[in-house]
Structure 1
Amino acid sequence: MAEANKKMSLAGLTTLVMVNMMGSGIILLPSSMAQLGAVSLLSWIVTAIGSMCIAYCFAQCGIYCNRPGGMSAYSEEAHGKSAFFLCSYLYFLSLVISNVAISIAAVGYLTPFVPWLGSGSMPLFIGTLSMIWLTTFANFGGASLTGRLGSITVWGIIIPVAGLSIIGWFWFSPSVFAEAWNPNQLAVSDAITSSIPLTLWAFLGMESAAQNSDAVDNPTRNVPLACLLGTLGAAVVYVLSTTVIQGIVPNAELANSSAPFALVYAQMFNEGVGDVVMALAVLACLGSLLGWQFTLAQTAKVTADQGMFPGVFARVNRLNAPLLGLICCAILQSLIALSTISPNVSEQFGKLVNLAAVTNLIPYVTALSGLLVIMYKAQVELAVFRRNSLILLVGMAYCFYALYASGMDAMFGAALVMVAGYLLFGIIAKRFVAAIDNLKQA
């Protein structure tokens, strides 16, 4: 009974998914999308459809495959033991990169309150390290504590963003929105393609429920529900909030803002309200980073349990938290923050986001393809197999499109990282051959 109490509930898991998705990407997104104009909002349609299909397929994987490991276990079903390692390895690196990017964004939000943080590369680096280690220590309390903290910090994004989605329409100006539609006179298809990496960044996290399945109470029921509910809730908020803000703040002003939601509330009410929204944004960013630190350490733990990562990641304290693994992850993030150090927040943030998105998409592809084998083993009904396969194809098509839209530089970097992963697995592969031989001899 005591062990069950340490597990995460459906509410906690759904909150974790939404916090992971909404905690940082949506706060900066309106400014990034304004660089292209309001026409970029059309990319939400493509990304929302693709993300819902991906989330649905992960939910189906969770129903028919109860093995620990999340996406890595699904990948192994179709592609063998090496796929388990490569999926975990790429997803692990993606989360490390993403966490550094989120930490940098959080420091950017704090800069108006603590101007010293924006005075150079070293203050930015110190602030980033503080964010990384603060959220690492907060995760020492285990899964249930992370879920409870997440349920508090999520309001830092739900209040201003969801609130804007509802009340912002009273300030919405059709003429402001029309002027912002396509200031660069881009072809609609080009604008959508250019916006895909931005909207994809906001949806990364839909897999969090599946990835943390072995730390969840009743995973057969709760993992699929959390995937779908978290993704659907985030999609609604994303579309409404980014649309209404384009009709309140002039596009040129929005494109140059480092805190778009604080800006829009300042215009709707006053500067004091804008400052409150800025503080809530910092809280949301911390909550997002808290959830991602947990997911990162859990991914490393599950992979270490399979003998594919160093055993230090598998050790847990009495609260079932992988304490040493969290510390190792924080050290790695600190090194990446040092290697990408820059005095400019947006420049450093931009260096990390595209590579993180691509290294996340590759595990999506390998994990989603495992659904076909998982359904075959479960002997699902033909109608269910056909329906899921059709949705799978749509999700895959979106993944391929998003990889193309991420650009050559990000694809090249991810390819180098993936090739290095094959070498690493080759070094440890003999462990699994020996295990097979021992099984035959027995």
Structure 2
Amino acid sequence: MAIKKMSVTQLTMLTAINMLGSGIILLPTKLAQVGNISIVSWVITAVGSMALAWAFACCGTMSNKLGGMGGYAEYAFGKAGNYIANYTYGVAIVIGNVAISITAVGYIIGLFNINPNPLQIGLMTIGLLWLTTFANFGGASITGKIGGVTVWGVIAPVVVVSTVGWFWFKPEIYAAGWNPHNSTLLDAAGSSVAITLWAFLGLESACANSDAVDNPKKNVPIAVLFGTLGSAVIYIVSTNVIGGIIPNAELASSNAPFGLVFATMFTPMVGNIITGLMIIACIGSLLGWQFTTAQVFKSSAEVGYFVRIFAKCNKSGTPIAGMLILLGIQTILGWFSIPASPDGTRYGWIHHVATGNLGVSDQFSTVVDLSVVTNLIPYILSMAALVTIQEINRVLSHKALLNNAIAGVGAAYSYFALVNSGDKALMYGGVATILGFTLFGAVSARFVKGEQLVHPDRVITGEEDVPAIPYRDK
């Protein structure tokens, strides 16, 4: 009996829904701090993301290696490339989980109209990370069912704003908030590119469903491209509609922008309901990403890239030990991202990462910038590997040239996002990446020793300087 597979329309919808998660919830606030001129960044990010999505679709339909982006990178960069792609992606989503938790905290503050101090914000952030980690101990089935329902707490309000919100849109409000800081187009695009890219992170996961769709070589690229395009339209429309409903200064200081716009459009009660739905959606999204993070480390540990403890599972197949280790790392990151206190003092070691502003928004920006920087490393490696992947698959030259040109656009956009992610994010992201190469030295022997063994009869005395004789199997 033939297995019924998804149509290209169904896969396109799935792709869009995967991106329309919690990433957009605090975006209106962050973009309002730049001004409505940030639409320039949206356009640049949309084009760059579609180029990335197309290249990932090409990689996914031609690659025969396991490990997603790590498998793609291995074609051009070998085992070290596979490792560093998986390592930086794992680091990125660990950091991203902290950003999602911060988003939920912002909406909790807005819903209950409370004014916690920076330490309390940090503890609330860490508390949600603990809650969603422990909730995952029940296994993938429970996590998947919860996530499939809660994601609509984000999607539904965003779609409503994008359509019905136009009835409350006022051009004069939008114009007043166009460029509050008198920025140039390039400065405006650069200052908001990291936050707009954050909304699209996860587009690479769309290729994971290629086995579930008919004619994947044709339909996966179509679904990824149009799914990303659909998400871009919804992102751009919803954030700009809000910019024409809520005055810029009020929007820029809000911890729950979607709750605020629904309260303005309808009633405060409706705003509170939307805020509550988005809190639930954030927690559901975080629940799913906590499990996904553990699975990324588990799969890498199973092939020897990470330490074995990440591959250890209980009877239900849940890598609890790995989850607890990752929770410890996220707890530290949550503490490091606590914003400055009103009197200028800081908690813990936060002075190394905070910019000095007070509130959830600053905490969110710090974490998002770092997550984007580390996530871009496997993106760039995958774009570069497409050339080799196509050579191996003997893709026709004119088609390969087109695909490589599109991947070049994706890589150029990735570098633009890197440069504009901030000095501190680049520095800490660079340190995290270099640390990954250091850690690879501890496990690399199991991958390369067969290629680099010297002749077994060779005796190294230290008294001669003769090149080692490579050992070859007969």
What is the SS of the residue equivalent to 1:428? coil
- Aligned twin of 2:390: 375
What is the SS of the residue equivalent to 1:258? coil
Q: Which amino acid aligns with 2:372?
A: A
1:80-229 pair list within 5 angstroms: 80-114=78-112, 118-210=115-207, 221=216, 227-228=224-225
Q: Distance in 2 between matches of 1:323 and 1:209?
A: 26
- Identical aligned residues as a percent: 45
CA offsets, 1:332-383, max 9 Å, x none? 2123223334463223222211111111111110122111111111112223
CA contact (8 A) 1:15 1:151 kept: no
- Aligned twin of 2:362: 347
Q: Distance in 2 between matches of 1:337 and 1:11?
A: 39
Q: Verify: 1:433 aligned to 2:448, yes or no.
A: yes
| Structure 1 residue 12 displacement after superposition | 10
CA contact (8 A) 2:298 2:311 kept: yes
Q: Distance in 2 between matches of 1:336 and 1:13?
A: 35
- Aligned twin of 2:62: 64
| Structure 1 residue 50 displacement after superposition | 0.4
Q: Distance in 2 between matches of 1:243 and 1:381?
A: 42
Q: Which amino acid aligns with 2:261?
A: V
Change (3 A) 1:153 1:220: farther
Q: Distance in 1 between matches of 2:283 and 2:452?
A: 48
- Aligned twin of 1:75: 73
Q: Which amino acid aligns with 1:88?
A: N
- Aligned twin of 1:297: 294
Gaps of 5+ in 2: 342-358, 454-470
CA contact (8 A) 1:10 1:217 kept: no
| Structure 1 residue 9 displacement after superposition | 12
CA contact (8 A) 2:57 2:221 kept: yes
Q: Verify: 1:365 aligned to 2:380, yes or no.
A: yes
CA offsets, 1:61-98, max 9 Å, x none? 11011422111111111111111111111111111111
Q: Which amino acid aligns with 1:40?
A: S
Change (3 A) 1:355 1:310: same
Change (3 A) 1:13 1:376: same
* 1:47 aligned to which of 45, 48, 58: 45
Q: Distance in 1 between matches of 2:304 and 2:269?
A: 53
What is the SS of the residue equivalent to 2:228? helix
Change (3 A) 1:105 1:339: same
Change (3 A) 1:34 1:112: closer
Of 374-383 and 270-279, more deviation after overlay is shown by: 374-383
- Aligned twin of 1:327: 324
Q: Which amino acid aligns with 2:80?
A: S
Counting matched residue pairs gives 436
CA contact (8 A) 2:25 2:103 kept: no
Q: In proportion to residue count, which structure has more helix?
A: 1
- Aligned twin of 2:248: 251
CA contact (8 A) 1:16 1:150 kept: no
| Structure 1 residue 320 displacement after superposition | 4.2
Change (3 A) 1:17 1:149: farther
CA contact (8 A) 2:159 2:238 kept: yes
Q: Distance in 1 between matches of 2:291 and 2:8?
A: 16
CA contact (8 A) 1:62 1:220 kept: no
| Structure 1 residue 32 displacement after superposition | 1.1
- Aligned twin of 2:405: 390
Higher Rg of the two aligned structures: 2
Q: Verify: 1:422 aligned to 2:446, yes or no.
A: no
* 2:307 aligned to which of 307, 310, 317: 310
* 1:402 aligned to which of 402, 413, 417: 417
CA contact (8 A) 1:109 1:281 kept: yes
| Structure 1 residue 226 displacement after superposition | 6.3
- Aligned twin of 2:349: none
CA offsets, 1:129-161, max 9 Å, x none? 332233224444554544432221111111111
Change (3 A) 1:262 1:232: same
Change (3 A) 1:440 1:133: farther
Higher relative contact order (CA closer than 8 Å, sequence separation 6+): 1
Q: Distance in 2 between matches of 1:70 and 1:312?
A: 22
- Aligned twin of 2:35: 37
- Aligned twin of 2:355: none
| Structure 1 residue 326 displacement after superposition | 2.5
CA contact (8 A) 1:101 1:349 kept: yes
Of 302-311 and 223-232, more deviation after overlay is shown by: 223-232
CA offsets, 1:294-321, max 9 Å, x none? 3312221221122010112223455544
Q: Distance in 1 between matches of 2:95 and 2:120?
A: 20
Q: Distance in 2 between matches of 1:232 and 1:139?
A: 32
Q: Which amino acid aligns with 1:71?
A: M
Q: What TM-score do the two structures reach when normalised by structure 2?
A: 0.83
- Aligned twin of 1:280: 277
Q: Distance in 2 between matches of 1:261 and 1:382?
A: 48
Q: Which amino acid aligns with 1:199?
A: T
Change (3 A) 1:254 1:396: same
Of 42-51 and 233-242, more deviation after overlay is shown by: 233-242
Q: Verify: 1:267 aligned to 2:264, yes or no.
A: yes
CA contact (8 A) 1:31 1:255 kept: yes
Quote the RMSD (CA, aligned, Å). 3.1
Q: What TM-score do the two structures reach when normalised by structure 1?
A: 0.89
CA offsets, 1:150-177, max 9 Å, x none? 2211111111111100001111111221
